[in-house]
Structure 1
Amino acid sequence: MQRSCRIINPVLILSLVMGSMPLTVQAQPVALVSTQQLLATEQVNADRERIRELLARTEVRDQLVGLGVEPAEVEARVAALSDSEVRQMAERLDSMPAGANAVVGALLTVFIILLVTDLLGLTKVFPFTR
């Protein structure tokens, strides 16, 4: 009797556990991604990379340091930009003439973005905004 209970007990426990599990797995709802959405995402990533490359130039970094902005802070800020902000910044870069004015304009744009976020209290880059 005890020998048969040793065999039957694990089988009964296993059958109860397996019986309480659902037999089907429900699929998670997933929306299809349109071509326009995919291309927009790729364009934003390309624009963000172009902004990073511009800010990685030595003359841009020197001017930012001269304004009191650390390069690590700029990198973090570019990474935190929303897609629409990246798009706006890239459009401004496209509309600027080539040459030294573009660097100054890009610096001015970054400075304004940093200043606005500082005034809103989101960051603490410039001490004169407190």
Structure 2
Amino acid sequence: MEQLRRLTQPVAHLVVLGILALSLHLPAANAAMVGTEAVVSATQAQQDRERLAQTISRADVQQQLVARGVDPAQVQARLQSLTDEEVQTLAANMDQLPAGGDALGVLVFIFLVLLFTDIMGFTNVFPFVKHPQR
């Protein structure tokens, strides 16, 4: 009888551990159909990512990045870390933005600088600014 108890004790421990292991909740694997939109979106995002990578790898773009103190390798790493939606937005904006930047903003800035210097009395550019008599 004593020998039977010694044999049943390790078996009882194994049974308890087995029941505990089976009672753990593991999420079930789900399979679903992949829609056409998801496939097309993923393909478009990959194409946009490749186009941006090609643009960044051009010699003239890399020269401009280095001239502005930006490491091209860091730009490439950040490009790889973008989500698909961010890549698509960036590619769409790149197609729509003017190549030389916004000239209107530069003109307004120059006008404001000249106006400010004219008001301060450093220049005499605008006739509508009244200057104090010297």
| TM-score (normalised: structure 2) | 0.55
Amino acid at match of 1:46: Q
Structure with the greater alpha carbon radius of gyration? 2
Structure 2: gaps spanning 5 or more residues = 102-134
Partner Cα distance (1:23, 1:55) in 2 = 49
What SS does the corresponding residue of 1:69 show, helix, strand or coil? coil
Tell me by how many angstroms 1:40 deviates: 0.3
C-alpha distance 34-5 of structure 1, shift in aligned 2 (>3 A)? same
Structure 1: gaps spanning 5 or more residues = 109-130
**Matched-pair identity in %:** 33
**Aligned position for 1:15:** 15
Is 1:41 aligned with 2:42?
yes
What SS does the corresponding residue of 1:27 show, helix, strand or coil? coil
Partner Cα distance (2:58, 2:30) in 1 = 45
Partner Cα distance (1:35, 1:10) in 2 = 56
| TM-score (normalised: structure 1) | 0.57
| Alpha-carbon RMSD | 3.3
Q: Relative contact order: is structure 1 or structure 2 higher (C-alpha 8 Å, sep ≥ 6)?
A: 1
Aligned structure 1 segments of 4 or more residues deviating by more than 4 angstroms: 23-26, 28-32, 92-96
**Aligned position for 1:65:** 66
Between the two proteins, the alignment pairs up a number of residues equal to 100
